[in-house]
Structure 1
Amino acid sequence: MTPDEWYMSLPIITRYYVTLSFLTTAGCALEIITPFNVYYNTSLIFRKGEVWRLLTNFFFFGSLGLDFVFHMFFLVKYCKSLEEGSFRGRTADFLWMLLFGGSLLTMLAPFVNIEFLGSSLTFMMVYVWGRRHQYVNLSFLGIFNFTAPYLPWVLLAFSVMLGSSPKVDLLGMVAGHAYYFLEDVYPRMTNGRRPLKTPALLKALFPTEQPLRMAALGGGAPAAGRGAGEGGEDEEEGEEARQRRWREQQQQRWAAEGAAAAAGGGGGGGGGGGEHED
């Protein structure tokens, strides 16, 4: 696969995020812009109207070097894995997750004095990925094995061992757990209520492929007797029920595949990325 083919194979949200991150970081390295133009500063945003800082701080990952490559590896790996995995066919829902996480991080950042939130947003994605792949086995540097939900904690411990501050990673874990609780746990506790329901505008911009996925998974297609003119409240409730059944089927499928992998003795390979994904 050529670099062009690899780049175009990335799902749309991952591709745009990686592109903007590279352009912003490269622009700072080439001194076209400086980090002072893009960092998060509430005084400059609200007193001088430099509102672009609300977004640009998520796209700067330090100087071009090994650390940047490391961050891009994690960004591509887990952003792509989520978008093509548990969010497959639901681009609007994935973008809404990133917007929710980015907004929460933006509100919390002034309390912990963090000026660039890209790493925290990436760590949020790692946290959500781990929670949704709880039966996947991983290996850290070939030293010990663990399951995916512990991945953020392993990375946090490794970062602290290298002398880095834990607050960036911890902030991402807070945002990740908030999303996981509100989207995956709370609906099961309240008979399907979703406080993070994706806005209709995003649904219109990125139409869902949910009905096709439902049919492929045996969940049934939309009722044939429901015509286009019967939209209304009943149709919306029916769509929510289909989405809820689809998520339940996905979780059951992940659990079954993870249990099968564990029964077959599937452990992580060498390094930090030895895993069995669905």
Structure 2
Amino acid sequence: MAYQSLRLEYLQIPPQLELITPFQLYFNPELIFKHFQIWRLITNFLFFGPVGFNFLFNMIFLYRYCRMLEEGSFRGRTADFVFMFLFGGFLMTIFGLFVSLVFLGQAFTIMLVYVWSRRNPYVRMNFFGLLNFQAPFLPWVLMGFSLLLGNSIIVDLLGIAVGHIYYFLEDVFPIQPGGIRILKTPSILKAIFDTPDEDPNYNPLPEERPGGFAWGEGQRLGG
């Protein structure tokens, strides 16, 4: 039941309780490659700033869309879900070398939102009761909202770019004439994460029913 998203939530606790500092977590290529502080490749995704509106906003969206992907299009495909995490994190790390970002957690959240939105193109969304739009526009609406809050949109653009690359390689290119499946989940991940038995009577929460919060609530067209 949304185990991956819950784990991501719990990983936020140490920085917020000041058990460790952001200076021990941020992405720094020199410290990583010259001083072998390899943990920074992972910890830079786990910090969303001090507790406040931006922090809560990111936590809510990270949990919601991670859960809906896990229970929707990745239902019974935990290894593929983990591979998406690894693939997205790898690309963000590479791109992060060129855009001087020190924390990539928000970009990772936007990537999840982008993948979900493209896989549910007919869901209608409502943002704070002010805007009505279809799901594929959600990442762009969030980027505009981030801009209104005075934040840099580079991190949002990075998340959108990586999300689009994953979506194109996974969902679009393989079904094109002459297309092939480029992204293949390694067998070791399938052996570790995938379970052989699946309950045929299980009825998962529809991925296209976000609900729960007014700024992301959606419904199917005609519903």
What TM-score does the superposition give when structure 1 sets the normalisation length? 0.72
Contact 1:156–1:169 (CA<8 Å) still a contact in 2?
Answer: yes
Paired residues, number: 216
Contact 2:15–2:47 (CA<8 Å) still a contact in 1?
Answer: yes
CA displacement at 1:274 relative to structure 2: 2.0
Alignment partners' CA distance in 1, 2:120 and 2:63: 17
The residue that corresponds to 1:188 in the other structure is 175
Alignment partners' CA distance in 1, 2:75 and 2:58: 23
Deviation readout 1:78-99 (Å, 9 max, x if unpaired):
1111111110111110010010
Of 148, 168, 184, which aligns to 2:155? 168
Deviation readout 1:12-45 (Å, 9 max, x if unpaired):
211222211x224324xx2x21111110000000
CA displacement at 1:190 relative to structure 2: 4.8
Structure 1 residues 207 and 110, CA gap change in structure 2 (3 angstroms): same
Query: Pairwise mapping of residues 258-273 of structure 1 onto structure 2 (< 5 A)?
Result: 271-273=214-216
Identity of aligned residues (%): 50
Structure 1 residues 269 and 202, CA gap change in structure 2 (3 angstroms): closer
Amino acid aligned to 2:7: Y
Contact 2:2–2:70 (CA<8 Å) still a contact in 1?
Answer: yes
Structure 2 residue 76 is the aligned partner of structure 1 residue 85: no
The residue that corresponds to 1:134 in the other structure is 121
Contact 2:2–2:66 (CA<8 Å) still a contact in 1?
Answer: no
CA displacement at 1:145 relative to structure 2: 1.2
**Bigger relative contact order (CA 8 A; separation at least 6):** 2
What TM-score does the superposition give when structure 2 sets the normalisation length? 0.88
The residue that corresponds to 1:249 in the other structure is none
Structure 1 residues 206 and 143, CA gap change in structure 2 (3 angstroms): same
Alignment partners' CA distance in 2, 1:201 and 1:96: 11
Contact 2:15–2:21 (CA<8 Å) still a contact in 1?
Answer: no
Tell me which protein shows more helix as a share of its residues. Answer: 1
Query: Pairwise mapping of residues 56-67 of structure 1 onto structure 2 (< 5 A)?
Result: 56-67=43-54
Alignment partners' CA distance in 2, 1:57 and 1:114: 9
The residue that corresponds to 2:13 in the other structure is 23
Deviation readout 1:210-258 (Å, 9 max, x if unpaired):
x857x779xxxxxxxxxxxxxxxxxxxxxxxxxxxxxxxxxxxx9xx98
Secondary structure of the corresponding residue to residue 85 of structure 2: helix
The residue that corresponds to 2:4 in the other structure is 13
Deviation readout 1:175-227 (Å, 9 max, x if unpaired):
00000000000110156721111000000001255x857x779xxxxxxxxxx
- Structure 1 unaligned residues grouped into runs of 5+: 1-9, 218-253, 262-267
Contact 1:142–1:271 (CA<8 Å) still a contact in 2?
Answer: yes
- Structure 2 unaligned residues grouped into runs of 5+: none
Alignment partners' CA distance in 2, 1:52 and 1:144: 40
Contact 1:138–1:269 (CA<8 Å) still a contact in 2?
Answer: no
